[in-house]
Amino acid sequence: MRLAERTSLLRPSPTMALDAQAKEMQRAGRSVISFGVGEPDFDTPEPVKEAAIAALRAGRTKYTPVAGIPELRKAIAERFLREQGTSYPEAGVVVTAGAKQALYELFQALLNPGDEVIVPAPYWVTYPDQIVLAGGRPVVVPVGLERRFGLTLADLEAATTERTRAVVLNSPQNPAGAVLEPDEVVRIAEWAAARGIALISDEVYGKLVYDGAEHRSPASASPAAREATIVVDAVSKTYAMTGWRIGWLLTSDLKLASAVSSLQSQSTSNANSVAQYAALAALQGDDAALPGMVRAFAARRDLMVDLLRRLPGFEVDVPRGAFYCFPRVRQLLESPPKGLHFDSGDALAAYLLEETGVAIVPGSGFGMPEYVRLSYATSEEQIREGLTRVAKALGA
């Protein structure tokens, strides 16, 4: 059967592909430790699960408004106002089946063929493919380890052309865990507003910050910055609700919100009804489980950074947010241990998975082929065991 040409533009998500391979190995009886997929190992908080059960028992299993139940949209707007001091209209909130759908619909609604979107690298694997699928062109701006992955306004200015339509910001960031300094966020937001460039701010890791780092949304910089900023968020990471598939976007442009909602009405319609009520309980709850989760992630991060720095050829920064380490392995690729040869980070990841049963994600999917990503959203025991296996396989 002949496929549409657009399908040739798509690449499978390397994180999802790696996770599937690791699970297949486990089903075959292999002992596998996965540092691949970005998913908290904590359970969804009990009050959230109870809210879902109550919604089921109350028969809240029918279609909802495409953009989400009014109570959830209101709670999302109120949460943002409470935490960032900036208000978005409830009519500018669209609830989606995860943040990934919100991003997809935004690119479809915003981009015409040839429009450029600046994407700092390392980037989340999905951004470039979604941009290309919408007819746009990703303009990748690499920011590496030497600068602690710290994007600046100067980087964006150098990449801007007359075709620039949008910039994707992700802070705290996947995969490097970088957190933009609040002052830099303000400068970028005001610049985008002055240039009429849309800022798509992916803030799904906003509450997972360490060492006194502060997450600041560009929307909070000024009224003009709010007009330029479209916030994308979800319950997935903060509340350990990855499988519930509830995300959203906030925009002050009601025409954009309407366009996104119309697009969604012709694709998936509303997000899962029961999951919306669960998300409502999460947002209206007391976040009692969050401080413990953040402390656990910080301890795991410290352990992983320490063990990675003992490996030959691994250079790693201390991430200040999210739950990933993103070490550079250039030295290992150039001077591997005797008897081994890796021509890329992909080859290194394949070797470690097959040889040791440890799954890491090659950096090529994030636009940085000399790096690899490891998630510390797993137990300290798993981190110790996994990196001990890696050390042994590399002769450390």
CATH of the domain at 265: 3.40.640.10
* Predicted confidence band of residue 214 (pLDDT cuts 50, 70, 90): very high
- Residue 173's pLDDT is what? 97
Please compute the mean of the pLDDT values over residues 32-47 and round it to a whole number. Answer: 92
Instruction: Give me the domain span that covers residue 276.
Output: 46-284
What single-letter amino acid sits at 151? L
CATH number, domain containing residue 330: 3.90.1150.10
Is 55 in the same domain as 168?
A: yes
Is 350 or 310 the better-scoring residue by pLDDT?
Answer: 310
Span 75-82, mean pLDDT?
98
Within the chain, strands assigned E span 33-34, 93-96, 116-121, 137-142, 164-170, 198-202, 229-234, 247-250, 324-325, 358-359, 361-362, 372-375
pLDDT digits (tens, 9 = 90+) for 152-170: 999 999 999 999 999 999 9
> 198 and 88, same structural domain?
yes
Structure tokens at 311: 């490996």
Question: Domain count of the chain?
Answer: 2
Instruction: Give the H/E segment covering residue 160.
Output: none
Q: Are residues 174 and 311 in the same domain?
A: no
The last residue of a domain, from among 228, 259, 284: 284
pLDDT-derived band at 58, boundaries 50, 70, 90? very high
pLDDT value at residue 19:
73
Q: Global pTM?
A: 0.95
Query: What percentage of the chain reaches a pLDDT higher than 90?
Result: 87
Residues 123 and 187 in one domain: yes
d(CA 228, CA 224): 7
Distance CA 178, CA 368 (A): 15
At residue 208, what are phi and psi to the nearest 5 degrees? Answer: -105, 80
Final residue of a structural domain among 257, 284, 311: 284
| CA atoms within a 13 Å half-sphere pointing along the CA-CB vector of 290 | 18
pLDDT at residue 21 in the model: 81
pLDDT of residue 17: 74
Please tell me which residue, 275 or 18, carries the higher pLDDT value.
275
What is the rounded CA–CA span in Å between residue 193 and residue 252?
13
- The verdict on 268 and 309 lying in the same domain is no
The Cα–Cα gap between 23 and 359 comes to 10
Report the distance separating Cα 129 and Cα 13, nearest Å. Answer: 9
CB 318 within 8 A of CB 325: no
Bridge partners of 95, per DSSP, are 248
Query: Residue 82 pLDDT > 90, yes or no?
Result: yes
pLDDT of residue 6: 86
**Residue 25 confidence (pLDDT) above 90:** no
Same domain, yes or no: 105 and 163: yes
In whole angstroms, what is the distance from residue 75 CA to residue 215 CA? 20
Encoded amino acid at 204, one letter:
V
* One domain for residues 269 and 347: no
* Average pLDDT over all residues of the chain: 95
345 or 210, higher pLDDT: 210
114 and 245 belong to one structural domain:
yes
d(CA 309, CA 294): 22
Domain end call among 284, 301, 317: 284
Give dist(CA 109, CA 129) in Å, integer. Answer: 15
Q: Let me know: does 367 contact 121? Beta carbons within 8 Å.
A: yes
Confidence of residue 8 (pLDDT cuts 50, 70, 90): confident
Q: What percentage of residues in the chain have a pLDDT greater than 70?
A: 99
The sign of the CA dihedral 51, 55, 56, 57 is positive
The three-point CA angle 325-329-333 to 5° equals 155
24 and 99 housed in the same domain: no
For residues 141 and 232, state if they share a domain: yes
Inform me whether the pLDDT recorded for 12 exceeds 90: no
Which pLDDT value is given to residue 22?
Answer: 80
| Count of positions (residues) in the chain | 396
Q: 37 falls in which pLDDT band (50, 70, 90)?
A: confident
pLDDT of 144 strictly over 90? yes
Q: Tens of pLDDT along 339-390?
A: 898 888 899 998 999 999 999 999 999 999 999 999 999 999 999 999 999 9
Residue 141 sits in the same domain as residue 259: yes
Among the residue ranges 38-42, 194-198, 259-263, the one predicted with the least confidence is: 38-42
Residues 203, 119 share a domain: yes
pLDDT digits (tens, 9 = 90+) for 232-283: 999 999 999 999 999 999 999 999 999 999 999 999 999 999 999 999 999 9
Q: Quick one: pLDDT band at residue 231, thresholds 50, 70, 90? A: very high
